[in-house]
Amino acid sequence: MESKQLTLIDVIEGMCTEKDACLKPIRVAKDIMNVDVKTLTLDHTVNQCIKFMENRRVRHVPIVDVPYEKEKKPYFIGIVSQRDVLRINAPDG
């Protein structure tokens, strides 16, 4: 006689039923993201980046490259953090 194998969902549902708990929906990145993301390009200076961060009260800035003729959207290059710009502007000690 073959025994039925439990799936993970069976185990979780059983635990929730026993503890009178319910599953919370899983939050994904799109649930907390900004839709209108402000970015800088590779042509911006470090000082412009610092002012950008101060004005928007952010500690990280997405950097994009401007599109070429055939491309319609800028594409993501990376992130510059507040720590990155502070390290660049720190006096040598």
- pTM, two decimals, is 0.60
Higher pLDDT, 7 or 79: 79
SS3 60: strand
Query: What's the CA gap between 48 and 43, in Å, rounded?
Result: 10
- The residue written with tokens 């055939």 in the block is 70
- Distance from first CA to last CA of the chain, Å, rounded? 76
| Domain of residue 24, CATH code | 3.10.580.10
Q: Report if residue 2 sits inside a domain.
A: no
39 and 51 Cβ atoms separated by less than 8 Å: no
Query: What's the CA gap between 49 and 43, in Å, rounded?
Result: 10
Q: Report if residue 1 sits inside a domain.
A: no
- pLDDT for res 4: 75
pLDDT in tens, 24-71: 667 788 788 777 889 999 999 999 999 999 999 999 999 999 877 777
Q: How many domains does the chain have?
A: 1
Q: Report if residue 3 sits inside a domain.
A: no
